[in-house]
Structure 1
Amino acid sequence: MKHLLVIRFSALGDVAMTIPVIHACACQHPELRITVLSREFVRPLFERMPANVSFVGADLKGRHKGIGGLNRLFAELRPLGIDAVADLHDVLRSKYLRMRFRLAGIRTAHIDKGRREKKALTDAVEKKLVPLKSSFERYADVLRRLGLDVTPRFSSLFGDAGGDLRTVVGVTGEKGTDTWVGIAPFAAHRGKVYPLELMEQVVAALAAAGCRVFLFGAGASERALLEQWEQRHEGVRSLAGKLRMDSELVVMSHLDVMVSMDSANMHLASLVGTPVLSVWGATHPYAGFMGWGQTEDRAVQLDLNCRPCSIYGNRPCLRDDYACLTLLRPETLVERIKQLIESKKD
């Protein structure tokens, strides 16, 4: 094998989880050329990869939309000399591209998402609460089926020193001896989101304790709310809409702690070596989506018989009250954040 195509279109968190595996593969097989195919907006994640990794952005809403667009995309990829395809997504689009390559005589392999085990993990009656294989291992397994011996190893996109803070200092200010805490309070589904009125209490308590708090979010409604928090609490700065993804990664690399839901921001902060205190509601770390290098003792979660009820947090609450999130007290989060800050100093 000389040229491997890796396919993973979305979502952001899942794409971020490919980084440690692709990085390790590139380092452990420097003779191998790797092309990553994903949506254009995730390109910044791959800009600091080893030299044998390149990126192709797919325009799935325009030029590469539909069957005709996928045929066009296949035609654009063929001249690259790809001789193996690793499908880390296994959805209709990637299956179609995989089929085209296979018919062209090119070896392919795809991810086993473990749907049966995940269904048992979230079963309301006969729940099997056991740790499942992580997404990192599932991704690595695809490469192994193609004959690549890969052991996921990774520290940070920026190395131990973190990103160049000078590139964002106009927004963040100098760090000095301040304790920086990042908070990303949003997620794609309600079953993952800690009640925002309670999270504001966490923000207020940290600011009152002298922490510099940076808020992460995207979209107009999230930006509006975070700017309200910024106005109400001294020492709080909303970054929503102020920085691009690559610059947000720089800020994350200098945080003492990141606080996130089970969401993309957990994975982004993990990629720059930052400790993440993650909040889990309807979902559970056992499903295999914990951030790279994060340990289960950094997960905040309540022991309820109904948890987990969902892999992605998109199912309606069986109790109708989202107790897994609403019963989690702000004081608990603040205490856990302070403990993580102190442990980092030791």
Structure 2
Amino acid sequence: MRPPERILIIGLSNAGDAVLMSPVIARLHRAYPKAEMTLAVGERAEPLFVGDPRIGRVVIMEEFQGLLGRLRLVGLVWRLRPTLLVDLRQTLLPVIWKPWRLWRYVWPVPAASHMRDRHVLRLRAQGSGLRALAEPIDGPPIWISPEASASIAQLLKRIPLKADRRIVVLCPGARSHIKRWAAERFAALADRLITDAQVEVVLTGSPEEAPIVREVMEAMSQRAHSLAGRTSLTQLAALMQRADAVVTNDSASLHLACAVGTPVVAIFGPTDPRKYGPTGLRDRVIRRRLFCSPCEQALFRFSRVCMRCVSVDEESEAARQILQKSSKFEVRSSKPDTPAPHR
């Protein structure tokens, strides 16, 4: 089969989902660096790919909503005439474009597999015959510009951080409130890490999550630093690269940290870590196995019992283990104030 010259990727809408699909872009670019690649993603995901040298053009999926929008999308496909159409949204475009290849787009994917792996499996099925797509990639699947790395370095200098201390990034936000660990527990965790592990704590979040970060900092007794609303997605990824550990809810921040290879302590409640959780050897997932979990439907949406059952002690111990393995510095163990709930 001839290498594709023009590739169209129908991607996903949210930032976290876009990070999970980034290995698809990395594999395609590594296999076919000369191919002209067009990516269609949601407005929230677009900033992650603007300026990415692997991608020739980024279009926003919201522009193709409604009947007229769908007709414009069909027109875009007709003008691009892609040699390879990668559809990660499972739309009807493959039926319209080349219906005789439809079997590639309905290939079954294991239900319990990780979302990142699902996207790669779909790529391999839809690009059937392109053997180069089967090879694993090296390095982060997302692109971080030198400018983003430099701006984060300057931002951290202005805070300033103590040069001899490690950095732990806390991400208390999430788009859905039912996936958020309590702000006061993030505050208690941050205080304990600063006191026991002698680290610099940096809190991050989107502009919409800035009030949550502010609530965490107001509940703290120790001094931390906030970059909430002050970083782009690529700058946040650059910050994650510089961190020694990240503690986060199930959110885009989790997937960014995993993409750049920084050890993660991930707090899970209603969602399934088998599909969305970290997979690194040093990563930790803290959750409660209740009769209803993972519900993915927020059965206890008002009480968030699965999130309330996760203790500060568990999070602190998981972070302490990561820091001990990643550094020569001593980490003092803190005696738990209260016993952790049974799993």
> Counterpart in 2 of 1:342?
324
Aligned residue runs from structure 1 range 122-137, under 5 A: 132-137=112-117
Aligned 1:267-306 pairs, distance under 5 A? 267-286=255-274, 288-291=275-278, 294-295=280-281, 298-306=284-292
Q: Give the structure-2-normalised TM-score.
A: 0.79
The match for 1:155 is 139
Name which of 217, 220, 227 aligns with 2:214: 227
Deviation at 1:52, TM superposition (A): 4.6
Task: Determine if contact 2:94/2:101 at 8 Å carries over to the other structure.
Answer: no
Q: How many residues align?
A: 315
State which drifts further: 11-20 or 222-231: 222-231
Following TM superposition, by how much is the alpha carbon of 1:109 offset from its aligned partner in structure 2, in angstroms?
4.5
Residue in 2 aligned with 1:143?
A: 123
Report the alpha carbon displacement of residue 257 of structure 1 after superposing the two structures with TM: 0.6
Contact 1:21–1:152 (8 Å) recurs in 2? no
> Cα–Cα, structure 1 residues 275 and 106, in superposed 2: closer, same or farther, change >3 Å?
same
Match of 1:56 among 51, 55, 58: 58
- Contact 2:173/2:213 (<8 A) preserved: no
CA apart distance, 1:279? 0.8
> Contact 2:24 / 2:123 at 8 angstroms: preserved in 1?
no
User: Displacement of 1:255 after TM fit?
Assistant: 0.9
Q: Deviations over 1:79-134 (max 9, x none)?
A: 333122111122xxxx244444236x8878547685xx75xxxxxxxxxxxxx222
Q: Which runs of 5+ in 1 are unaligned?
A: 119-131
Q: CA deviation at 1:36?
A: 1.7
Q: Is the 8 A contact 2:14 2:44 kept in 1?
A: no
Distance 1:58 1:260 in 2: 28
SS in 2 for 1:86: strand
Matching residue of 2:169: 182
The 1:229/1:285 distance shift into structure 2, 3 A limit, reads: closer
Q: Does 1:79 align with 2:65?
A: no
Corresponding residue of 1:101: 97
Q: Distance between the aligned counterparts of 1:102 and 1:167, measured in 2?
A: 50
Aligned to 2:339: none
Contact 1:256–1:274 (CA under 8 A) maintained in structure 2: yes
TM-score of the aligned structures, taking structure 1 as reference length? 0.79
Pair 268,280 (structure 1): closer, same or farther in 2 beyond 3 Å = same
> In the alignment, is residue 20 of structure 1 matched against residue 40 of structure 2?
no
**What is the deviation of 1:296?**
8.1
Distance 1:268 1:172, change over 3 A: farther
Q: Secondary structure at the match of 2:205?
A: coil
Asked whether 1:204 is paired with 2:191, we answer yes
8 Å Cα contact 1:87-1:109 kept in structure 2: no
Question: Which residue of structure 1 aligns with residue 293 of structure 2?
Answer: 307
* CA root-mean-square deviation: 3.1
- Identical counterparts, % of pairs: 22
Cα deviation 1:192-216 (Å, max 9, x = unaligned): 2222222221122223333211112
Contact 1:223-1:241 within 8 A present in 2 as well: yes
Unaligned runs of 5+ in 2: 329-343
Q: For the residues of structure 1 that align with 2:170 and 2:106, how far apart are their CA atoms?
A: 32
Instruction: Work out the CA distance in 2 between the residues paired with 1:52 and 1:107.
Output: 27
Q: Tell me the distance in 2 between the aligned counterparts of 1:284 and 1:5.
A: 30
**One-letter identity of the residue aligned with 2:285:** A
